[in-house]
Chains A and B, each alone.
Chain A
Amino acid sequence: MAPATQFEVAQPPNDAISALVFAPGASRRLLVSSWDKNVYLYEVASGAEEAGLVGTFEHRAPVLDVCFGASPDEAFTAGMDHLVKRIDLASGEQTVMSKHAEPVRCVVYSADNSLLISASWDNTLHIHNCTAPSQPPLTIPLPGKPHALAASPTKLVVAMAARLVHIYDLPTLASALSSQTNTPPQPWQQRESSLKFLTRAVACMPNDAGYATSSIEGRVAVEWFEDTPESQARKYAFKCHRQAAPDDEGGGDVVYPVNALAFHPRFGTFASGGGDGTVALWDAEAKRRMRQYQKFPDAVAALAFSADGRYLAVGVCPGFETGMEDYSGEGRTKVFIRELGETEAKGKGAK
C-alpha cells in the first residue's frame, strides 16, 4: 500500500470536521469546515507531499458545511448560527447571503447555473442567484429536515429525515428565481430512499446520470435519475463499513454509519468513508469494490476528490455514536490527502 503517496495535513482543525471540498479547476486549494467555528483553507504543494495552511476564517458558531463558488477565491459556508455566508478567500471578507430560522446544514454551489443552494433544519431550501447577490433568495419549503444535499450539472438531490428524497431540476429553479414567482417550484421527482435507515450522505454522478446515498446503517444505494422502468431496475444497494464483533462482545456485526460519499470527477467511480475509519473505492457501473484503503485512526467524516481527480482528501475525526453524552474531536481530528495513481480510481467497466 505504497504509503508514500498519502500524507497528513500539518495543521488540522482543532475539532471535528463537518465537510471538506477541493476548489474547482486546476487549483489545489482545499477548504475544511470544522465544529471549532473555523473554516480552514489549505493548498497542496505541487511536487511536494505536503499541504500548507493558507488561512483560517472564523465564524460565530460551528460551521456545518462549506463549498467553493465560481472561483478558487470564493467560498460559501453553512453556519450553526443560521447564516449562509460568502467568504472572499483573498481578502477574508465575509458577507451574509441569507438567514435561516435554524442552523444551516448544507450548502452547494452549482457552477453551471450560478446558483447557491442552502438547506437548513428549518425545513427550507434557499436558492441564491450568485450573478445578482442583492436579489433575495427563493425559499422552498421541505417536508422534512434536510440532512444531505448534492448537485449534478442539472439536478439537485435533497435527502431529508423520514427517508424522503427530493430531486429538483436546477434550470427550473434558476428560471423560477429570475421570474420572481411567489409559488415555489415543485420537485422534479419525489422518491423514498432505497435505504431503510436515516440518510447520511448524498453524492451525484458527475455525468448527470444518477446519484448515490448512504445511511447510518452501513449501506450505500446507487440510483439513476431517469424515471423509466429500465433505469429504475438498475438501482442497487449494498452493505459496507461493517466489522464482525469479537465473540466476547456477543458476536454479530458492528455496523458503522457511512458518513461520506464522493464521486470521482472523471471515472464515474466513487469513494465511501465510514465510521469504521476506512475508505473504499467502488465502481458504480460494474458494482464492484475496487479497493479499500488501510484503516484511518478514527471515523472518516468527509471525503473529497480534487477537480482533476488526482487527490482524495479524507477528513478523520471521532464519530458520534449512540449514547454519547459528550463529544470532542479535539486532538484527534486529522486531514489526510492521498495522491492517486493514474488508474487507481479507474473502473474496469461493466462486465
Chain B
Amino acid sequence: MGKKKRGHPDVEELLGRPWCYYCERDFEDLKLLISHQKAKHFKCDRCGKRLNTAGGLSVHMNQVHKENLSSVENALPNRQGLDIEIFGMEGVPEDILQQHNQRIIQNFYTAQAERQAATGNPPRGQPGSQGPAKKLKYETPEELKKRLAEYRTKSATQKAAAASGVALPSAPADGQSPAQGTTPFPPPQPGYPYGAPGAPGAPPYPASGQALPPPGATTAPFPLPARPPSGSAGAPPYFYNGAPPGYPGGAPSTVDDLVASASRQGPSGDDIDQLIRMAEAGIKPGAGSKGEEGAGAGDKKKKGSRMVYADTDVSPEEKMALLPRYRWVEGAAA
C-alpha cells in the first residue's frame, strides 16, 4: 500500500472519519465535527448561543428562555431525540454505529465498482488482479497466431455489430497485456472478505452476490442507459448497474434514503457548512461523503431544473381567475 493515493481514499480511511449522529455527515477531523454539531444541532434558536450537547441546549432553553426543547434541529427524522447524549463521536449507540459503517462500506464498494466500470482499471491493492499482470508469460508462435485469428474474427464481428447498430458488451481485445488473453478482467470475488474495523459483526460486503451478475452475463436486464457502441472501452461484463442501493431489488438501506431525502429538503447549508465543505473538497473531491449521491450525481448536475410554475407571461392569479370556481361575471353574481 505504499502507492500514492489518487483521490480515492480506502475503506479504512472512510470508516475512520468522524461523522455526525444527527445528520450522517462525515468530517475530516473531530474538531470540524464538533463545530458542525454546535452550529447545526446545538445552537440556540433564540440567542444563537452554541452549546456542547443537546442536553446542554435543553437546559439553556429552559433557564434562559423559559422554553422547552422538544427536538434537535436539522436532524434526520428518527434522530431528533434528546434522550441520547452526543458529543462529537461520543454517545453514538452501537447499532447506529454499525449501521453507519455498513453504509460507508456499501457506498465505498458501489463507488469503486463504478470507477472500475468507468475507467476499466482493476481495483487498487487487489493481489488477485495485479498478480498475473506482473508475471511475464511467453507465448509460442502458434499461440500468437491463434490469438491474432481470434482477434480478427472478433473485431470483424464487432465492426459488423457496430454497423448494424447493436452494442456488444464485449471489451476490446487490443491493448491488453498478453497474459490476460481475451478475458478483459478477472471477475471480482463474490463478497469481499472485508470486516469493518470496530464492527466485527458486520457481514461482508456486498451483502449478497446478486448485484454482480456472473462474468459473461450481459447488462441487458439492468435499467442502465445503453452506452454508445463507439465508447472506447465497452462496459465490462460485470458492469455494476448504477442504481443507488435501496432502489431496484437492493437491500433496504433506510439510512441512505433518509440522508438523501434530508439533503433534498434543505437547500444549501449555511456558512459553516460551506466552510467545512470547502475544507473537505481540497482533500478529497467527490468521494466518501458524497457517496450516497454516487451514480446519479454526475448526470444530475447537467439535467435541467423543472419549474413548478413556468408561465412567464401570465400570473397564477390570472389563471385562477379564469377557473369556473372563481370567475366573476359582471351582473351575474350581483
Contacts and interface: CB of A to CB of B under 8 A. Distances in A.
Given A198-B315, A252-B300, A60 B267 contact: no
A105 interface: yes
B299 to A, nearest CB: 7
A198 B312 contact: yes
B86 to A, nearest CB: 18
A62 B316 contact: no
B328 A81 contact: yes
Interface in B259-301: 260, 263-267, 270-271, 296, 299-300
Nearest to B71: A1
Which of B71, B267, B303, B309 gathers most chain A CB within 10 Å?
Answer: B309
B320 to A, nearest CB: 6
Contacts of B315: 145, 147, 161, 198, 200
A62 B322 CA distance: 12
A251 B73 CA distance: 27
Contact of B296 (A1, A197, A251, A254): A251
Contacts of A103: 321, 328
A209 to B, nearest CB: 25
Interface string A12-54: 0000101000000000000000010000000000000000000
A319 B316 contact: yes
**Interface size, B (range):** 35 or more
A10 interface: no
B304 interface: yes
Nearest to B48: A343
Contact of B267 (A2, A243, A248, A257): A243
A3 B334 CA distance: 44
Given A60-B333, A247-B244, A252-B303, A216 B313 contact: no
Contacts of B94: none
A134 to B, nearest CB: 24
A342 B308 contact: no
B1 interface: no
A107 to B, nearest CB: 14
A2 B42 CA distance: 13
Interface string A84-125: 000000000000000000010100000000000000010000
A35 B326 contact: yes
Interface string A141-165: 0000101000000000000011000
Contacts of B126: none
A321 interface: yes
Nearest to B310: A322
Interface in A242-275: 242-248, 250-257, 275
B45 A1 contact: yes
Nearest to A18: B317
B293 to A, nearest CB: 9
Contacts of B299: 251
Contacts, number: 148
A64 interface: yes
A61 B45 contact: no
Given A64-B317, A198-B313, A327-B325, A341 B65 contact: yes
Nearest to A241: B267
User: Helix, strand, loop or mixed for chain A's interface?
Assistant: loop
Given A244-B264, A341-B65, A257 B306 contact: no
B333 A216 contact: no
A251 B334 contact: no
Given A319-B316, A321-B308, A2 B326 contact: no
B68 interface: yes
Interface string A308-325: 000000000001111010
Interface in A61-96: 61-62, 64, 80-82
B271 A322 contact: no
B46 A341 contact: yes
Interface in A224-252: 240-248, 250-252
Contacts of B271: 288
Contact of A295 (B265, B296, B308, B314): B265
Nearest to A324: B319
A80 B244 CA distance: 50
Contacts of B318: 121, 145
A4 interface: yes
Contacts of B308: 254-257, 275, 319, 321-322
A252 B305 CA distance: 5
B83 to A, nearest CB: 18
Contact of A60 (B247, B300, B334): B334
B320 A292 contact: no
A321 B46 contact: no
Contacts of A254: 305-306, 308
A217 interface: yes
A203 B317 CA distance: 18
A80 B48 CA distance: 45
A332 interface: no
A320 B320 contact: yes
A180 interface: no
A192 interface: no
B303 A250 contact: yes
Contacts of A35: 320, 326
Contacts of B45: 1-2, 341, 344
Task: Report, nearest first, the 6 A-B pairs whose CB atoms are least far apart.
Answer: A253-B305, A61-B328, A320-B316, A251-B300, A252-B303, A341-B46
Given A4-B68, A161-B315, A248-B247, 12 more contacts: A2-B70, A60-B334, A61-B326, A216-B307, A218-B307, A243-B265, A254-B306, A289-B270, A321-B309, A322-B310, A327-B323, A344-B45
Interface of B: 45-48, 61, 65, 67-71, 73, 244, 247, 260, 263-267, 270-271, 296, 299-300, 303-321, 323, 325-326, 328, 330, 333-334
8 contacts: A61-B326, A216-B311, A216-B312, A246-B260, A250-B303, A288-B270, A295-B265, A324-B319
